[in-house]
A and B are shown apart, each in its own frame.
Chain A
Amino acid sequence: MDFAVFFINNIGRIATRTAEHMLIALSALFLALLVAVPLGILLTRQEHLAKPVLGLGNVIMTIPSLALLAFMLPVLGIGNRPAIAALFLYALMPIMRNTYTGIKQVQPSLIEAARGMGLKDFQILYQLELPLAFSFILAGIRTTLVILIGWATLAAFIGGGGLGQLIWAGLTNINYNLILSGAIPAAGLALLADLLMGRLETILTPRGIRKTRVKEVKNAFNKD
């Protein structure tokens, strides 16, 4: 009850923070898509690069977030830019890896058949490999987006705003309503993003391969 009153009284501020939060997470995701998907495709063509590049992605993931933000501060200044840059780096790995794995799991016999039918390399990529790898790539994006929404709370550390600001303000003022007013929308956003991405996955997967795709994706993940 107490919280409901607080929430309604502060709705404008919570909405602003939510918008900032989404902007940070979505910008990072968008930028990561522009880089990571082509890079993932490239890695399937240049196999010898796959190990070092994916390894580098893993190394980036291990850098503690606050340390990464602190390093970016002198370069990018304060505000949401360093936060977006940091989240962008964190988002690269899962998207790149899923793109790579997705294309690699396309059966070689299919590619051979396509080649036999006279398809060029880029035609094989666009008409065969990418559609078949699509649910893998989308699954990677889905996980990444949910993670990014969680991590965007860190933007508050460096003046980037977002829902983390409400959470931290609550934590340092011993104000539980304030903590909840940041935490609940953040959790809601993550759930909503997951739901929408799930929908998108179903819509974008060609009807003919829907059922089998789900199974294949599951099997492939179990194998790992």
Chain B
Amino acid sequence: MRSTKTKTCTTCLTRTLLVLVLILALPLAACQKASETITLKVGAQNYAEVITLAYMAEALIEDQSDYEVEVVPRLGSVVVLDQAMQTGDVDIASLFFTGGASGLLHPDIVKQVENINDPKWRDAASVFEFVRDQSRITLKREWLEPLGYENTYAITVRRAMAEQYNLKTISDLQGLSADLVIGMDDAYMDRAIDGYQPLLKHYELDPFARTVTMQINLLYQAIRDQQVDVGVAYSSDARIFAYDLVWLQDDRNLYPPFEAAYAVNLSALEKAPGIDTILSQLSGQIDIETIRQLNYEVDINQRDHKEVALEFLKERKILD
């Protein structure tokens, strides 16, 4: 009886030791592997174009370098992406926009702005330069040259309504707004530079009959289904065309530039030199028509982001 007990204990001790050795050895092995290949993470938020562009970055980097790339799509909000960049959990942001909360209105950048209503914040070149310089200093990230399109706020209405009231510009809403329901995403209400209040003031509009804030992906169908009359949409979204909405011209130049660009952590550029050059091949390559077409493939034709991304790169002969 006694000897069996001792025996069991010896086996159990050996086993424990074995397990311990394994546990200790595993991370060591993992470490060794990591030192051989560098893995870069590309983070993207939760809508079509930024995910498609993330897969383009993956394809390009993996094709033209020895780095491994992992796409982290569907991050719930810009806060998550921004934080992930700051902690280094994500190395490359796909994408940031110059006039957005990741750019000019980032809390660490907007602090440096004296007067947000200064006309120079409506100029694409000066905003990009300012955002790039400030991001380098305060956020330790490098903005690559913009891709070539802007994803700005687009005031949209149904075509039938545009024709009925002869609406072409935002100014045309004067005298009408008090009878209309306006829909927007949650962020728009609180944007100091071009949000709901600045919109009313800049265009001398009466307050709308009702303001509704909702998730941007649900906004388009709400406009189509006449639950909302005027929608603050995103200009690159394919649903503007799929649902036959009319984009009213920003004739008084309210909106700042919203140029789309990749941003890379300075730390990532150090550990993986050359990725900025690789990604810069896309700079200036994607105009608004192109991104709308890509978004159309994903959002309306329900195709896979990665498939659409690869198809584009091959079509443009950036990838073979």
Contacts and interface: CB of A to CB of B under 8 A. Distances in A.
Given A73-B221, A78-B222, A156-B186, A174 B215 contact: no
Interface stretch (B28-36, B74-82, B261-269): B74-82
Nearest to A164: B186
Nearest to B108: A174
Given A159-B183, A174-B82, A78 B77 contact: no
Interface stretch (A45-53, A165-173, A196-204, A206-214): A165-173
Contacts of B214: 78, 156-159
B280 interface: no
A172 B215 contact: no
Contacts of A74: 221, 225
Interface in B169-190: 183, 185-187, 189-190
Tell me if A's interface is mostly helix, strand, loop or mixed.
Answer: helix
Contacts of B189: 169
Interface stretch (B5-13, B56-64, B99-107, B111-119): B99-107
Nearest to A158: B214
A73 B190 contact: no
Given A73-B221, A78-B183, A172-B78, A178 B190 contact: yes
A112 B212 CA distance: 58
Contacts of B215: 66, 156-158, 168
Interface in A172-216: 172-176, 178-179
A78 B212 contact: yes
A172 B187 contact: yes
B213 A156 contact: yes
A78 B79 contact: no
A57 interface: no
B20 interface: no
Contacts of A150: none
A131 interface: no
B213 A159 contact: yes
A172 B221 contact: no
B1 interface: no
Interface residues of A, number: 25
B212 A73 contact: no
A70 B217 CA distance: 10
B26 interface: no
Contacts of A169: 186-187, 189-190, 213
A176 B106 CA distance: 11
A69 B190 CA distance: 24
A108 B105 CA distance: 67
A142 B248 CA distance: 49
Contacts of A161: 213
Nearest to A174: B101
B218 A157 contact: yes
B227 A77 contact: yes
Contact of B78 (A156, A158, A174): A174
Contact of A175 (B107, B183, B212, B227): B107
B228 interface: yes
12 contacts: A73-B222, A78-B227, A157-B214, A159-B222, A169-B189, A170-B79, A173-B187, A174-B102, A174-B106, A174-B107, A175-B107, A175-B190
Given A172-B186, A173-B191, 16 more contacts: A66-B215, A70-B218, A73-B218, A73-B222, A78-B218, A156-B186, A165-B186, A168-B187, A168-B215, A169-B189, A170-B190, A171-B186, A172-B77, A172-B79, A172-B185, A174-B106
The 7 A-B residue pairs with the shortest CB-CB distance in the complex, in nearest-first order: A172-B187, A168-B186, A159-B212, A171-B77, A157-B215, A159-B214, A169-B186
